[in-house]
Amino acid sequence: MDYPLTLQHILERAGRLFAKKEIVTRTASGMHRYCYGDYYRRTHRLARALERLGVRPGDRVGTLAWNTSRHLEQYFGVPCYGAVLHTLNLRLPHDQLAYIINHAEDKVIFVDSSLASILEQIRGQIPTVQHFVIMHDDGSVAAALAPAADYEELLASVPEEPYPWPRLDENDAAGMCYTSGTTGNPKGVVYSHRSIFLHSYGLTMADTFALSERDVLLQIVPMFHANGWGKPFAAVMVGAKIVFPGPHPQPRDLARLIQEEHVTIMGAVPTIWIGLYNLLEQEKFDLSSVRMAATAGSAIPRQFVESFEKRYGLRVVQAWGMTETTPIGTVSVPKSYMDAWPEEQRFAVRARQGVTVAGVDIRAVDEQGQEIPWDGQTMGELQIRGPWICSGYYQDPRSEGSFSDGWFRTGDVVTIDAEGYIQIADRTKDLVKSGGEWISSVELESALMAHPKVLEAAVIAVHHPKWQERPLAAVAPKPEYRGKITKEEILEFLAARVAKWWLPDDVVFIDAVPKTSVGKFDKKALRERFKDYRLPSGS
Ligand code: ADP
């Protein structure tokens, strides 16, 4: 049958089959619990409320919200109604936030009351927004936002009857996200029902994340960051218990949630895992329920994968993806015969970004556009295609140049080994180009962060009169080693791990590496900070 793959099917099936399963949210006033049955009914009410607000099929509906069960109501209610869910990054600079609300022409925005002040400040710049719906999360009143409705009052004001979902085409837009805009304004990516549906299947496959009804998912990744990595959709598809960490979660909050809710699976950027690791070094928590901690967004230093597992029994699984790829493209799960490999080699595989999820294809090409061999050595730009890879940016001329005969150009430089595992060497713009050769800043950073006195480290290219560019290492020591670690010590440590010509020409010490709005190392900010830096003479 030509049956449309829409989110309506996922929601309806979950409402029927998993009504008793729990959805839990950490709130300012304690834990909020309800079950899929309540969730289902409220999501149907939400559709009626959208109708009452005058939302039309295809309209964009924004959310500016923490990870909560209410946000999950919008995750399904908005697209099942036929409108487009536009998740807004609450950490974006205000001018960029105004830009994306205008660019998407959001008609209604659902906002947590504790975040409403952000919108108040840009209210004058976002004329397309006709209604705000305030979700009270801490009792604060967002008086200045108008016209505004209260989320709970709105839901209570409509009849509790199943909403007759419109017939949707699987290629209709279900959601959109903007990239965080490290260069220029953010670019919009639109996801169809079909792409999210197939991506959800991708997350449930046994050799990726094997997400199942038996799982308890801790949704750490912000729901505005590339669909929360698609996990909320996939969790509802399989009926997993979901735990939302709510506003401002800190490592201790996460550790408590894992322990108390018996979390089995979770995903986050390396910064979060490093924060959790440092907490575990000081305090004891029972994390034995966890079967997988997925990491993506930036490279995780290999020693974390190893020491998390050896010291705390936590299996860290690396994946790679982008906002443009819904987001999961590859997952690093070793193949069965690799179990017999020496430990060193097994961890080396785990530290790579992995193999493609069935459905997507990859290749990598050199600067002349020739496909590179899968030899684990040659670097090339990663290109990807598949049913959940974007086909262009939303109303943006920058789409041109992002594709090459049906492949999306990721801007990531990789090697691919003979087993098909990719390793991210860098983003094209972060590579250090020294005398025509490429140095991977990511690999240098991983080597630096293996030093026991180093908390975090980032490497940027600085101008060199002879070699054009050379690496500069910016190192943040662990607090107890501040002022007690030397450049020589760092370079000596690195010398045993990387090629001599890769060694940074200088090491500068900083308190912390600046982070982007989704918690990655902000190389742009670092380059700006060191723009007047000159290498020591003689280097
Ligand atoms: P942003 O551009 O705002 O960081 P994305 O989250 O879409 O937004 O970033 C995607 C990029 O993140 C990829 O192109 C890649 O450079 C990087 N990335 C994602 N996963 C990994 C990973 N496991 N290791 C290294 N880099 C990664």
Residue 182 pLDDT class (50, 70, 90 cuts): low
Residue 28 has pLDDT above 80, yes or no: yes
pLDDT at res. 7? 98
Q: How far apart are CA 445 and CA 475, in angstroms?
A: 9
pLDDT at res. 342? 98
Residue 184 has pLDDT above 90, yes or no: no
Residue by residue, DSSP assigns 226-291 as: GGGGGHHHHHHHHT-EEEE--SS--HHHHHHHHHHHT--EEEE-HHHHHHHHHHHHHS----TT--
Contacts of 86 (CB under 8 A, 6+ apart): 60, 61, 62, 63, 100, 104, 106, 175, 176, 177
Q: What pTM was estimated for this model as a whole?
A: 0.95
Residue 538 has pLDDT above 80, yes or no: no
Residue 436 pLDDT class (50, 70, 90 cuts): confident
What single letter denotes the amino acid at residue 149?
A
Residue 362 vs residues 156, 174, 365, 404, 435: alpha-carbon distances, Å: 48, 25, 10, 13, 29
pLDDT at res. 138? 77
Residue 537 pLDDT class (50, 70, 90 cuts): confident
CB-based contact 61:55 (threshold 8 Å): yes
pLDDT at res. 536? 84
pLDDT at res. 494? 96
Mean pLDDT value of segment 393-405: 93
Contacts of 149 (CB under 8 A, 6+ apart): 53, 131, 132, 133, 134
Residue 120 pLDDT class (50, 70, 90 cuts): very high
What helix, strand, coil percent values describe the chain, rounded to 5? 35, 25, 40
Residue 151 vs residues 45, 87, 113, 134, 538: alpha-carbon distances, Å: 11, 17, 10, 6, 64
Tens of pLDDT, residue by residue over 135-162, are: 998 756 566 898 999 999 999 999 999 9
Tens of pLDDT, residue by residue over 511-522, are: 999 999 888 999
pLDDT at res. 143? 66
CB-based contact 525:458 (threshold 8 Å): no
pLDDT at res. 139? 57
Q: Which of 451, 505, 426 is nearest to 473 (CA)?
A: 505
Whose Cα sits closest to atom 24 in ligand 1?
299
pLDDT at res. 413? 96
Q: Which listed residue (25, 68, 179, 410) is catalytic?
A: 179
Of 412, 427, 521, 524, the residue with max ligand 1 atoms within 8 A of its CB, to mutate for a pocket test, comes to 412
411 C-alpha to center of ligand 1: Å?
A: 10
Tens of pLDDT, residue by residue over 275-329, are: 999 999 999 999 999 999 999 999 998 989 999 999 999 999 999 999 999 999 9
| 480 CB neighbour count, 10 Å cutoff | 8
Q: Which of 225, 417, 256 is nearest to 322 (CA)?
A: 225
Mean pLDDT value of segment 370-393: 97
Whose Cα sits closest to atom 19 in ligand 1?
297
State residue 246 phi and psi, 5-degree precision.
Answer: 65, -160
By the 10 Å C-beta count (0-12 exposed, 13-18 middle, 19+ buried), 333 is classed as: buried
178 C-alpha to center of ligand 1: Å?
A: 13
Annotation says 388 is catalytic:
no
Which residue ranges have their beta carbon within 6 Å of ligand 1? Answer: 179-180, 182, 226, 296-299, 318, 320-323, 353, 410, 412, 424, 427, 518, 520
Residue 166 vs residues 6, 172, 415: alpha-carbon distances, Å: 11, 12, 46
Q: How far apart are CA 175 and CA 394, in angstroms?
A: 12
Whose Cα sits closest to atom 10 in ligand 1?
322
Annotation says 21 is catalytic:
no
By the 10 Å C-beta count (0-12 exposed, 13-18 middle, 19+ buried), 160 is classed as: exposed
Tens of pLDDT, residue by residue over 201-258, are: 999 999 999 999 999 999 999 999 999 999 999 999 999 999 999 999 999 999 999 9
Annotation says 438 is catalytic:
yes
pLDDT at res. 72? 99
